[in-house]
Structure formats: structure tokens, C-alpha cells
Chain A
């Protein structure tokens, strides 16, 4: 089935450790995004990429980094995890940008930082 694949599905991570959340899309969409979802706060944008080779900061970028080496992959890295990064992380893509075409989301990675 075409769409966004995220891995792992869930993870428990010790504080101070690093981790990379993987995201792959097979729709050849130009733009990709990382959101975190927290109860009562909705979805907040961490980083985005409008096209391969470019990235940008969203609302809550601190403590996270991304890369976009090709169209399909958009990994999110936590260099040194902290408990406040406990959240559900969603990767998304869109064909022509957030204001023109819909976002297609993956099923998320549930991360617990202890």
C-alpha cells in the first residue's frame, strides 16, 4: 500500500541516549514534515523539508535534527533525549505544500524517554 512508513512503531529510550526515527514515502512527494502529538497540544511541527536537499525549522525544533538526502527518506534524530521528548511522532508528506495539497501521515512512532 502506498504511503508513509515509519519505524520503529514504539521505543523506550533512556535519557541522554540518541535515536533516529525513520520515515520513508513512496508517493514521490516533494515536501515532508515531522510533527509531534501531545495531549491537549495537538500536532506541532518540528522540522520540514520542501524538497530533497533542503530542510527548515518548525515550531518546536530544539533537540531535533533532520536530513533529506533524497526524495523518499526523512529521518528525525534526537541527539540526546530528554523526558520532555516523550511523545508520539508523525511523519507526513505533501505533493505541493501544506496550503495547497493535503498532508499524508504515517502511523506514528510512540517514544518514551525515561
Chain B
């Protein structure tokens, strides 16, 4: 069964620092890697997404990168701010053997940015 392993489970970063969250996967054929951000008491919301034909995508302070050979994709938050404190989920979308699409989520990383 396809899995995504997200690390670390929790992360504390000083304001202005770089937050790095990693996700490792097992198989090869994926179509889409979204990252979701969730604030306390709210549902997750799409933060940024990448497709496997692109190795990196940057939107403001958020950058996602994809390392196909290492079977890993990562989220970098530059100049981390207290407002970035949230739970982050990676996800990946792939086609199953029966040719149906499936989206699976990582375990989540709780980020705390200290002022």
C-alpha cells in the first residue's frame, strides 16, 4: 500500500529562520504533490502544489522541491513568521492499478515559529 512518510512530526523555529518539512514516498508514478496548511480550529487549505515534471516551485516565502531519485519532496519556508505557525500536510496523487485516482496525505507537521 502506498504511503507517505512526513517528518518531522513537530518543529520549532525562531522568527526569521528556515522551516523545512520533508515527505518521502515509496513508489514512482505520481501526478501531483500538493501541500496543505491548517490553522487551529480550521480545515486544511491548499498552500502550494507541484507536478513531477518540475523540480522546484516558489511562491513568495514558500518553496517546494522534488527529488525524484531520492523519492522525496520538501517544503521550505524562508524567513519564517509567527503567522506561519500551523500544521502542514504533504500529499501525493497517483493512479492506482485499477486506473482510479487516489490522494494520500502525510502524517502532518506542527510548526511553531517563536517571535
Contact = CB atoms under 8 A, between A and B. Distances in A.
A40 B44 contact: no
A53 interface: no
Contacts of B102: 98
B34 to A, nearest CB: 7
A99 B101 contact: yes
A99 B34 CA distance: 9
Number of contact residues on A: which range applies?
Answer: 20 to 34
A102 to B, nearest CB: 4
Contacts, number: 51
A108 B105 contact: no
A44 B107 CA distance: 10
Interface of chain A, main secondary structure? loop
Given A42-B108, A43-B89, A98 B101 contact: yes
Interface string A60-71: 000000000000
15 contacts: A39-B108, A41-B107, A42-B6, A42-B105, A42-B107, A43-B108, A44-B105, A45-B103, A59-B104, A99-B31, A99-B103, A100-B32, A102-B34, A103-B46, A108-B41
